[in-house]
Amino acid sequence: MRLASVAGVLSLVALAACGTPPKADETVWATVAEIYTPQTLQQSFNRRVAEHARLAGLDDADIRAGRVVKVACGIGTNYAWGSYAYLPLGVKVSNEQVVRVAVRDAGDDDRLGWNPVLNVVEGFRYPGSLSAYNFIPDWKARGLSSNLEPVPLAAEQRGRYVESHSRYLIRCRQR
């Protein structure tokens, strides 16, 4: 009986370590994962984001201006959160730029939410997504056991990122 309760506690600790997705009324950091264009919004798999943009009153000029984006951030090891988002008028971003997002619709595992970007995170000089591994093409010839080697983060980057699917992704909640 005691062993079962210890196992249960350890399971809860493991789940807690994974983190939880953002909830409504939170503000998170995220990286710009995609900037939509009128052409990309015409693709059938982008119907949902095109519909969000239309319902929000965003027109082709807004889309051409880069105001409709997809953002993502890391929650825990190999777990990321993503959302469709829209930029304030006049704000320009580039892929991998770090932004602050006001979570209004967190979405779930089956659908992405639709949320406003508040602003670009000023003074943050790193991209929001970085490779966590380098590929080693001659790994066998070098006698290595793997064709990948970890890329360490710089001291000032540690704690701001979480490794997710072989990438360092900006952590949703900054400590």
Percentages helix, strand, coil for the chain, rounded to the nearest 5?
20, 35, 45
Sign of CA dihedral 157, 158, 162, 167: positive
**Which candidate, 72, 79, 67, places its Cα nearest to that of 112?**
72
In a domain, 14, yes or no: no
What token pair was written down for 169? 């992704």
Q: Is 31 helix (H, G, I), strand (E, B) or coil?
A: strand
**Which candidate, 93, 163, 162, 80, places its Cα nearest to that of 122?**
93
Q: What's the pLDDT at 18?
A: 57
Looking at the structure of the chain, the number of domains it has is 1
Q: What is the pLDDT of residues 92-146, one digit of tens each?
A: 999 999 999 999 999 988 899 999 999 999 988 899 999 999 999 999 999 989 9
User: Phi and psi for 12 in degrees, rounded to 5?
Assistant: -65, -40
In a domain, 128, yes or no: yes
Domain of 135 in residue numbering reads as: 20-170
pTM of the model: 0.83
In a domain, 10, yes or no: no
Q: What's the pLDDT at 81?
A: 96
In a domain, 65, yes or no: yes
